[in-house]
């Protein structure tokens, strides 16, 4: 591979664009400027995998003919011969262009092509004196003229906001970015296969809802002109998926977008990807076991092992995940700070939260206040995988109540590196209980809680036909990808994250 090149002096970008436009004008005058008749037969990485172990003599004797194409990332002109490196989706391969093999006219034309141009070549494989697997080019063509210069290759694309706004440029110039999104695709495919192999049916449910439901969040609102009605981009697919379980699809899942009209942060994007899955005749403890297995298998498929390095932390997905209640977690990670009596006293909890300056709802009971205290004091300390279980009913309007402990639900949230990554529970299938909880949510909304749920009469009607005992879960795909790719921000794992308007 070409090395030891000197850093070229900076050039005016507008001047470079003008020069490239002049070259394109000449190409148009000479014929078809953007041809589409080249048949690529080989990818760069496939060639390396198949032939990197062959010596010079073997390659010469086999006379392996290839047809490759990609973006020119490196170029070195040396009189009668030149080298170029092209990049395709799989990797890079070097080209050797000489007067002897392509002719003087073609080689001269190549010398005027620019970095970033998309080119195609046919030839045979050989090994250079330095041992680099290379295509000895017999035919070379310019397929697409690049009008804008790539970032100077010795510094690349360094502005983080520009990387997010111009992801196409980030993908061209940053191998780590390409690896991240290849890993993302593999993570999603592994999870999909994991569930399909266990008999789950993949489905699609509406993205526009007449009533926002399935989560506590602020929705995006749109208007359907023909029906003259407001609709909401979905905040969660949960209620539609459970309607399908009522209908007899007893094991279903969906991987798709949710939309929440909330803030931007390193953990939050208003458009994000989740998987939700539901299985009849299971409970939340089964889901916790299944989730541990899913995470381990996914890590092994993507990384080759179940021990993950994330931002300086070593996360062990191979060992059993811890399971703690909200109050157990507070006391474990804040030893001696709160007594049993204090942590169950509404007056104390409210005063403590006010002292900390922590937001909470004035009408919250003990359970809601405990959760606020947990979020303020403990959540960020849950580095190793931890299930927080048995949530208060007042903050779990869709979860089944625990038969043995009034006011507690059969619900869990999974935390890793201090952030929630999954939420699941035994589903509430009592239509009268669900109706009462919806009404409680409506009262919270009327009291000023913008994220409280609406009353969904059709969902209650579906429950009245009978939902079998069911367990369901949602997993944040973006946050899981962050974990398995050691990415500090959610924007690093979403191809085109939401950005503020460009000035």
Backbone angles phi, psi at 476, to 5 degrees: -75, 105
Q: What is the pLDDT of residue 171?
A: 95
- What is the chain's percent helix, strand, coil content, to nearest 5? 35, 25, 40
Q: What is the pLDDT of residue 28?
A: 96
The angle subtended at Cα 16 by Cα 14 and Cα 19, nearest 5°, is 110
Residue 359 CA to residue 85 CA, distance in Å, equals 56
Whether 8 has a pLDDT exceeding 60, the answer reads no
Query: What are 375-402's pLDDT values in tens digits?
Result: 999 999 999 999 999 999 888 888 999 9
**Pairing label, strands 322-325, 386-389:** parallel
What's the mean pLDDT in 421-429? 96
More confident call, 4 vs 434: 434
Residues of the chain with pLDDT > 90: what percent? Answer: 84
Query: What are 433-473's pLDDT values in tens digits?
Result: 999 989 988 888 888 887 788 899 999 999 999 999 999 99
Whether 218 has a pLDDT exceeding 80, the answer reads yes
Whether 503 has a pLDDT exceeding 80, the answer reads no
What's the mean pLDDT in 151-167? 78
Residues of the chain with pLDDT > 70: what percent? Answer: 97
- For the chain, the domains span 13-150, 172-321+384-492
What's the mean pLDDT in 343-363? 89
How many other β-carbons are positioned within 10 Å of the β-carbon of residue 192? 15
**Banded model confidence at residue 159, pLDDT cuts 50, 70, 90:** confident
Q: Which of the four CATH numbers 2.40.50.140, 3.40.50.2300, 3.40.50.10860, 1.10.569.10 does domain 13-150 have? A: 2.40.50.140
Residue 428 CA to residue 401 CA, distance in Å, equals 7
CA dihedral 382, 386, 389, 394 (to 10 degrees): 40
CA dihedral 114, 119, 124, 127 (to 10 degrees): 40
User: Where do the DSSP E strands lie in 79-132?
Assistant: 81-87, 92-98, 118-127
Q: What is the pLDDT of residue 441?
A: 87
**Banded model confidence at residue 156, pLDDT cuts 50, 70, 90:** low
Q: Exposure of 481 by Cβ count < 10 A (0-12 exposed, 13-18 middle, 19+ buried)?
A: buried
Residue 496 CA to residue 167 CA, distance in Å, equals 7
Residue 477 CA to residue 181 CA, distance in Å, equals 12
Whether 211 has a pLDDT exceeding 80, the answer reads yes
DSSP 357-384: T----TT--HHHHHHHHHHHHTGGG--S
Stretch among 26-35, 151-160, 167-176, 493-502 having the lowest mean pLDDT: 151-160
Stretch among 1-10, 138-147, 277-286 having the lowest mean pLDDT: 1-10
Q: What is the pLDDT of residue 195?
A: 98
Query: What are 9-44's pLDDT values in tens digits?
Result: 566 889 999 999 999 999 999 999 999 999 999 999
How many other β-carbons are positioned within 10 Å of the β-carbon of residue 124? 17
Q: What is the pLDDT of residue 449?
A: 80
Whether 106 has a pLDDT exceeding 80, the answer reads yes
CATH superfamily of 172-321+384-492: Bira Bifunctional Protein; Domain 2 (3.30.930.10)
Instruction: Please give the helix or strand (H or E) that residue 472 lies within, else none.
Output: strand 470-476
More confident call, 422 vs 263: 422
How many other β-carbons are positioned within 10 Å of the β-carbon of residue 101? 17
**Banded model confidence at residue 4, pLDDT cuts 50, 70, 90:** very low
**Banded model confidence at residue 5, pLDDT cuts 50, 70, 90:** very low
Residue 410 CA to residue 395 CA, distance in Å, equals 12
Query: What are 245-299's pLDDT values in tens digits?
Result: 999 999 999 999 999 998 889 889 999 999 999 999 999 999 999 999 999 999 9
β-partners of residue 412 are: 389, 424
The answer to whether residues 94 and 125 touch, using CB atoms and an 8 Å cutoff, is no
Q: What is the pLDDT of residue 18?
A: 97
Whether 135 has a pLDDT exceeding 50, the answer reads yes
């Amino acid at each position: 591979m070409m090395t030891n090149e000197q850093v070229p002096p900076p050039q005016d970008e507008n001047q470079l664009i003008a020069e490239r436009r002049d070259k394109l004008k000449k190409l148009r005058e000479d014929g078809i400027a953007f041809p589409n008749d080249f048949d690529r037969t080989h990818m760069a990485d496939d060639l390396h995998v198949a032939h990197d172990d062959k010596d010079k003599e073997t390659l010469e004797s086999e006379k392996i003919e290839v047809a490759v194409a990609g973006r020119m990332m490196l170029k070195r002109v040396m009189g009668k011969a030149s080298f170029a490196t092209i990049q395709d989706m799989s990797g890079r391969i070097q080209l050797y262009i000489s007067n002897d093999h392509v002719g003087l006219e073609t080689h001269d034309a190549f010398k005027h092509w620019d970095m970033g141009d998309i080119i195609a070549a046919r030839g045979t494989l050989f090994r250079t004196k330095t041992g680099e697997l290379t295509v000895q080019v017999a035919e070379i063509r310019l397929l697409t003229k690049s009008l804008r210069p790539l970032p100077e290759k010795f510094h690349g694309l360094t502005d983080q906001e520009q990387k997010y706004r111009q992801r196409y440029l980030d993908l061209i110039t940053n191998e780590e970015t390409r690896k991240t999104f290849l890993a993302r695709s593999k993570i999603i495919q592994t999870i999909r296969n994991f569930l399909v192999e266990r008999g789950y049916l993949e489905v699609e449910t509406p993205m526009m809802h007449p009533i926002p439901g399935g989560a506590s969040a602020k929705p995006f609102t749109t208007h359907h002109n023909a029906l003259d009605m407001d609709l909401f981009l979905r905040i969660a697919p949960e209620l539609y998926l459970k309607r399908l379980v009522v209908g007899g699809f007893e094991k279903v899942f969906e991987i798709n977008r949710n939309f929440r009209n909330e803030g931007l942060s390193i953990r939050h994007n208003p458009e994000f990807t989740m998987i939700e899955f539901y299985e009849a005749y299971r409970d939340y403890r089964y889901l916790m076991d299944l989730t541990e297995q899913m995470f381990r298998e996914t890590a092994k498929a993507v990384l080759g092992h179940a021990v993950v390095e994330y931002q300086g932390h070593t996360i062990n997905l191979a060992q059993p995940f811890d399971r703690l209640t909200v109050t157990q977690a507070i006391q474990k990670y804040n030893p001696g700070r709160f007594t049993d009596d204090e942590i169950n006293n509404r007056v104390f909890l409210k005063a403590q939260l006010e002292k900390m300056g922590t937001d909470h709802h004035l009408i919250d009971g003990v359970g809601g206040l405990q959760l606020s205290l947990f979020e303020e004091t403990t959540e960020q300390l849950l580095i190793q995988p931890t299930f927080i279980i048995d949530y208060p009913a007042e903050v779990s309007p869709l979860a089944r109540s625990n038969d043995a402990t009034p006011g507690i639900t059969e619900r869990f949230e999974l935390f890793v590196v201090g952030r929630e990554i999954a939420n699941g529970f035994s589903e509430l299938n009592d239509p009268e209980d669900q109706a009462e909880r919806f009404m409680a949510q409506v009262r919270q909304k009327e009291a000023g809680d913008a994220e409280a749920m609406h009353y969904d009469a059709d969902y209650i009607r579906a429950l009245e036909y009978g939902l079998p005992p069911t367990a369901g879960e949602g997993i944040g795909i973006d946050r899981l990808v962050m974990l398995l790719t050691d990415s500090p921000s959610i924007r690093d794992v979403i191809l085109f994250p939401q950005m503020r308007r460009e000035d």
